[in-house]
Amino acid sequence: MKKALDSVVDAIDIETFLYCKSESEGKELAEKLTQELNLPHGDIVFLEFKAWGARVRIRSYIHHPGDHYRWLETEGN
Amino acid sequence: MKTILLAPLDPVHDNAIKLLKRKLDEAGYNAISMPPGTTPEEVIQKSLTEKPEVILVSRTLGYKVAEILSQLLDLAEASGVRDTTRIGIGGMAITKEAGAELGFDGCFVGELKMNEVIDFIENRVPSVELTGKSNQLRIKPDITAGYTYKFYDPIIEELLERITSQTLAWVKDKTTIGIERAKIRTELLECEKEGNSHNQLLDKYISLCDPEIQNFYKYHTLPDGVRWLGQSEINRVSDLFNVPHPDFNSLRHTEKKPLFFSQYGTGCPIMDVYHIKVSEAWGIDGVFHFDPSWNAQKEGLLEGHLTHEYDGTILTLENLQFIHHFMEPYTLWNVRGHRGLNTPETQVLGHAAGADLFKINIPYGSTAGGTDPQRLTVDGIYSLMLAAQYGIPFDIPGNDELSGVPPYKTFAGILIMMALGLKLGARPIPKPLLCYSPYMTINGLMDDNMIDMNVAKLAVWRDIVDTPIWPGEPVGFMTHTSDRVQSALQTSLHASLAATMDVDAVTIASSDEAYSKGPISVQARVDTLRAVRDQLRFQGSIKTTLSPAAESIKDEIHEKITETLSIIADRDDFVASIYEGLIGSQEDGLYPGRIGAGTVNG
């Protein structure tokens, strides 16, 4: 059976709010989060720190343009 | 006449019931509505006296929802109402799954779709998802229709006459290998259509290409990072997208214009198709093909279904035809050829693949676009002739403003392109850029607001010439950040401001506009389409009137356009004017392009 991840057309974005005390700590945490979630090629698209934490969006490309897309494959292929 | 009983099983919320009653009355049903706070017992009691064919109940609050709805169905069973009456449920607290699990005959979630409700009342198989406006057949519009291109400013008209006469006289008897390839490509296409052999023609074509392109044709070597698409991949795209689908509503709420465009060019034709189909589903009217810059910097184009992992989708006839094949019949398609060494051939291939619009701008392409001014003037004018011959309008982006050029210089360049096109029989569309450009930032011209300058940049065109106006490209350039909410909001604000100025089309970005570390994601396209739709809903048919400050900016731009054109006309050499920075100087941030320098013959 196909994994749900195979149906991601190109990228996964995860938005969250991280408890942290500085922008650099927020970045470190966001990077760590992509690793903990096993997201390949994780990148911080956006991070905004204000006083009590950071609003963040991290992205992982599941399919890059030019790849062989798993969503294009038929079942069992 | 069928009787429908409408009951809000909710202490206060009955807006949906009121709306439903009005729509069902209009549709010819006997709709009886009950007040908020109606209990399940009261619904059944009313049903026993009115004997409705259908009961539609709504519930907004989630509190005790399952308990109340189960009670209603139990009473309907016990009283015998269920034997003759079908019961539907809707409202904020309801999901499709919950409705089915509880045992309702129908369940309506999300935006009210009357066709779904009526299908349920009539006990019909649900039709495709249609709402109001989508029932109207969408047609492919001609953006230039109804415009006369009459100049209201005789001084500007006279200056343009002088500049274009000089330019066309200069270009006469000149040619380039780009033009020669375009002519050969036209012959090759004719040969293929008639099934004739074209080996000699192809050899001639190859001889006019750069070595890397020659190697592709001779030895089938692909440029770095490029691969062929497999036949199975191509076939599978057909399986995915050549299927019936619901109608797609336009973004517009009440107005007939503007049309909304976005660019594609992920690098992969398959991914492009997916992005275009999603954009269509969310309401886009037209799309642009973006090719990679290396594609434009080499003499000659490749052939076949090719993909790669870099920005811009490789321009080949097969790629263009493949992408175009999956577009909705009403989707307008622009194949851009505003810069580079393959400008004339791009128009030939675009036309062969079914393009509706071209993009040609010599001043922009030969400065910020990097192509040598002489070369692009010769190629560009030939491209304008092709646009005229094919009857395909061309748009003229004013994106040189992004380098720091003041709008009046950019507009002078656009006007020259318009006049050249008109003289050659083509139909131009100017594209003033709505942006927070370096010129605005440095000179503090948008310190208070972003409205006055942008509306002045649109309004000035109405004082000069009767022309369609298409702000781009995309609107809101340099206001976007990688915050998707901020980015989508800026796009929607700029797009809607343009809409209030009665423009004909608008190019919008995705919310990934300011994200440069990866390709645009498909969800980022939806972000801005969704934001623009709501913004248009919010403003309806409201129009903007210019503030005194905007009027003053408009008049100043107008005056300076005239001054700029006057200087160029007196210089009596359009190409030299570009080299010398009269349409945008090095101080402004523009440098003449170098690609293709010294390649003009004659």
**Out of B227, B237, B519, closest to residue A64 by CB:** B519
Residues of A with CB below 8 A from B266's CB? 10, 65
User: Rounded to an integer, what distance in angstroms lies between the CA atom of residue B504 and that of residue B356?
Assistant: 15
Residues of B with CB below 8 A from A63's CB? 271
Average pLDDT of chain B to the nearest whole number: 92
Ranges of each domain in chain B: 3-127, 154-579
Give the chain A residue nearest B516 (alpha carbons).
Answer: A45
Average of per-residue pLDDT across B154-162: 98
Average of per-residue pLDDT across B283-287: 97
Residue B56 has pLDDT above 90, yes or no: yes
Residues of B with CB below 8 A from A66's CB? 225, 227, 267-268, 271, 307-309
| Domain-located, residue A16 | yes
- In 3-state terms chain B splits into helix, strand, coil percentages (rounded to 5) of 50, 10, 40
- According to the model, what pLDDT value does residue B254 have? 84
**Do the Cβ atoms of B309 and A45 come within 8 Å?**
no
Number of structural domains, chain A? 1
Q: Is B238 on the interface with A (CB under 8 A)?
A: no
Residues of B with CB below 8 A from A13's CB? 484, 521, 523
Q: Residue B236's pLDDT band (boundaries 50, 70, 90)?
A: very high
Q: Return the residue in A45, A58, A59 with the most chain B beta carbons within 10 A, the one to mutate for interface testing.
A: A45
Residue B535 has pLDDT above 60, yes or no: yes
Average of per-residue pLDDT across A23-44: 94
Average of per-residue pLDDT across B118-137: 62
User: Rounded to an integer, what distance in angstroms lies between the CA atom of residue B186 and that of residue B259?
Assistant: 31
Three-state DSSP state, B170:
helix
Residue A1 has pLDDT above 80, yes or no: no
B42 near B54, Cβ under 8 Å? no
Average of per-residue pLDDT across B442-462: 94
**Do the Cβ atoms of B523 and A64 come within 8 Å?**
no
Q: Residue A46's pLDDT band (boundaries 50, 70, 90)?
A: very high
Q: Note the CATH architecture for domain B3-127.
A: 3-Layer(aba) Sandwich (3.40)
Residues of B with CB below 8 A from A73's CB? 236
Q: Residue B130's pLDDT band (boundaries 50, 70, 90)?
A: very low
User: Rounded to an integer, what distance in angstroms lies between the CA atom of residue B290 and that of residue B334?
Assistant: 9
Q: Dihedrals φ, ψ of B408, to 5°?
A: -65, -35
Q: Residue B20's pLDDT band (boundaries 50, 70, 90)?
A: confident
Q: Residue B289's pLDDT band (boundaries 50, 70, 90)?
A: very high
Q: Residue B138's pLDDT band (boundaries 50, 70, 90)?
A: confident
Residues of B with CB below 8 A from A57's CB? 482-484
Nearest to B177 by CA among B208, B214, B205: B208
| Domain-located, residue A28 | yes
Percent of chain B with pLDDT over 70: 98
**Do the Cβ atoms of A66 and B515 come within 8 Å?**
no
**Do the Cβ atoms of B517 and A66 come within 8 Å?**
no
- According to the model, what pLDDT value does residue B134 have? 44
- According to the model, what pLDDT value does residue B493 have? 97
A59 near A12, Cβ under 8 Å? yes
| Domain-located, residue A75 | no
Average of per-residue pLDDT across B96-114: 82
DSSP letter for B222, please.
P
- According to the model, what pLDDT value does residue B131 have? 40
Q: Which residues contact B252 (CB under 8 A, 6 or more apart)?
A: B133, B258, B536
User: Rounded to an integer, what distance in angstroms lies between the CA atom of residue B239 and that of residue B162?
Assistant: 56
Residue-number span of the structural domain to which A16 is assigned: 12-65
User: Rounded to an integer, what distance in angstroms lies between the CA atom of residue B17 and that of residue B49?
Assistant: 20
User: Rounded to an integer, what distance in angstroms lies between the CA atom of residue B394 and that of residue B356?
Assistant: 9
How many angstroms away from the CA of B28 is the closest CA of chain A? Answer: 44
Residue B582 has pLDDT above 90, yes or no: yes
Q: Is B559 on the interface with A (CB under 8 A)?
A: no
Give the chain A residue nearest B241 (alpha carbons).
Answer: A72
Average of per-residue pLDDT across B17-22: 86
Residue B495 has pLDDT above 60, yes or no: yes
Average of per-residue pLDDT across B316-320: 97
Amino acid (1-letter code) at residue B197:
S
Is the model more confident about B37 or about B489?
B489
**Out of A57, A64, A69, closest to residue B309 by CB:** A64
Place of tokens 């059944």: B44
Q: What is the pLDDT of residues B252-263, one digit of tens each?
A: 998 889 999 999
Contacts with B, A 36-65, CB within 8 Å: 43, 45-46, 48, 57, 59, 61, 63-65
Separation in Å, CA A64 to CA A12, A33, B260, B264, B596: 12, 21, 26, 15, 32
- According to the model, what pLDDT value does residue A75 have? 61
Q: What is the CATH number of domain B154-579?
A: 3.20.20.440
**Do the Cβ atoms of B268 and A65 come within 8 Å?**
yes
Residues of A with CB below 8 A from B274's CB? 9
Place of tokens 């059976």: A1
- According to the model, what pLDDT value does residue B22 have? 87
CA neighbours within 13 Å on the CB side: how many for B502? 9
- According to the model, what pLDDT value does residue B126 have? 63
- According to the model, what pLDDT value does residue B137 have? 64
Average of per-residue pLDDT across B569-576: 97
User: Rounded to an integer, what distance in angstroms lies between the CA atom of residue B269 and that of residue B266?
Assistant: 8
Q: Return the residue in A64, A71, A73 with the most chain B beta carbons within 10 A, the one to mutate for interface testing.
A: A64
**Do the Cβ atoms of B233 and A9 come within 8 Å?**
no
Give the chain B residue nearest A43 (alpha carbons).
Answer: B517
B333 near B357, Cβ under 8 Å? yes
**Do the Cβ atoms of A72 and B267 come within 8 Å?**
no
Average of per-residue pLDDT across B63-89: 89
| Domain-located, residue A3 | no
Residue B498 has pLDDT above 70, yes or no: yes
Residues of B with CB below 8 A from A67's CB? 268, 309
Give the chain A residue nearest B228 (alpha carbons).
Answer: A66
B187 near B270, Cβ under 8 Å? no
| Domain-located, residue A6 | no
Residue B129 has pLDDT above 70, yes or no: no
Residue A21 has pLDDT above 60, yes or no: yes
Indicate which CATH number applies to the domain containing A50: 3.30.30.60
**Do the Cβ atoms of A65 and B266 come within 8 Å?**
yes
**Do the Cβ atoms of A46 and B482 come within 8 Å?**
yes
Q: Is B483 on the interface with A (CB under 8 A)?
A: yes
Q: Which helix (H) or strand (E) holds B166?
A: helix B154-171
Structure tokens at B105: 């005959």
- According to the model, what pLDDT value does residue A23 have? 97
Separation in Å, CA B479 to CA A57, B435, B554: 19, 7, 21
Q: Residue B127's pLDDT band (boundaries 50, 70, 90)?
A: low
Q: Which long-range contacts (CB under 8 A, 24 or more apart) does B167-170 make?
A: B167/B377, B167/B381, B167/B416, B167/B420, B167/B574, B167/B575, B168/B381, B168/B420, B168/B423, B168/B424, B170/B377, B170/B573, B170/B574, B170/B575
- According to the model, what pLDDT value does residue B133 have? 42
Q: Is B51 on the interface with A (CB under 8 A)?
A: no
